[in-house]
Homo-oligomer: A and B are copies of this chain.
């Protein structure tokens, strides 16, 4: 086992109706609140009105319109400006992972005198951040239980995962009923996103028995419950378990003590959604089986065999290579069965910019240190196979 440090000080408040505790939890951090949200779905489901009613005694400043793959300009910059101008004490993020990721960058930027990009690009280490409370409306990214946020800057095609322990939310409200109205596309993308988070932890050199069992349980739960969510969007049990597994999936707790994978599929996908602004989980689903096929070798075979047998129940008496190939096909088929288009061309991405994206990933994502090291050529090959 490798040495590690682990620390997640976020309070999870999970279940039907838990939002009643919001004033008490939020009020412990202040009464001047920046309320961040996205395109307005929280208004459609009545959550916006409920939050404002609960926070009648608070001073609320709103930052609406945060987009998927949240943008540095205008959202982060505008949020930082509002925090400074209004003396914001606590940020309340209501929405999915994009709203929360953006809120994290704002929380750090609000406590920094210079250009917030200094922090996001790791030029300067943040010394402080505003506390963040979130109400989650989408099960996917796990941002509610990690200390990272992904921020895009389309003018430079940058999509940076900004990670700092200061950015753990102080409390996350997880009410599965808020995800009942999430449409099939977003539900499927969320399943693929969280499954990929687990696969990025599963495929490594030195997983422990605990790591593997934990990851396999998460994958199987996401497959069963994800499917059930698509079949019946108001299935509380399925939405709840999917939400909880998504929350655990990006927190590193599933891979403590191993040397990690370097998150290669995320490295590659960040270029796709950085260049083309596609749905992150969809990009990951497309990349996943192609990455798997690319790295399959005598060295990695035992991992694929374990994956195939324990996650998909493939007959362990088959030859290893056959199990591995069946497992990769099963992964592809599962994502396809969710209704995810499984080719880049289906989401408007052709071959033209593959060399440019491969170069961008090779320069920025450090995948030469991944579980299976990837060169610019490898990355281009995986992207080309995904077309």
Write the residues of chain A forming the contact surface with B, with a CB cutoff of 8 angstroms: 1-18, 176, 208-210, 212-214, 216-218, 220-221, 224-225, 236-237, 240-241, 244-245, 248, 256-257
Contacts and interface: CB of A to CB of B under 8 A. Distances in A.
Contacts of A220: 209, 213
A210 B1 contact: no
Instruction: Give this chain's copy count.
Output: 2
A176 to B, nearest CB: 8
Contacts of A17: 3
20 contacts: A1-B237, A3-B14, A3-B15, A3-B16, A3-B17, A4-B12, A4-B15, A5-B14, A6-B11, A7-B10, A208-B241, A209-B217, A209-B220, A210-B241, A210-B244, A213-B213, A213-B216, A213-B221, A217-B217, A240-B257
Contacts of A213: 213-214, 216-218, 220-221
A174 to B, nearest CB: 10
A24 to B, nearest CB: 12
B257 A14 contact: yes
Given A4-B14, A209-B224, 7 more contacts: A3-B14, A4-B12, A4-B15, A7-B11, A212-B217, A213-B216, A214-B214
A344 to B, nearest CB: 32
Given A6-B12, A15-B3, A257-B14, A225 B244 contact: no
Question: Can you list the 5 inter-chain pairs with the closest CB atoms, starting with the nearest?
Answer: A213-B217, A3-B15, A1-B240, A209-B221, A7-B11
Nearest to A6: B12
Nearest to A13: B5
A13 B257 CA distance: 11
A214 B248 CA distance: 12
Given A3-B14, A5-B11, A218 B225 contact: no
A145 to B, nearest CB: 10
Contacts of A225: 209
B1 A6 contact: no
B1 A244 contact: yes
A18 B5 CA distance: 10
A352 B76 CA distance: 72
B218 A241 contact: no
Contacts of A15: 1-4
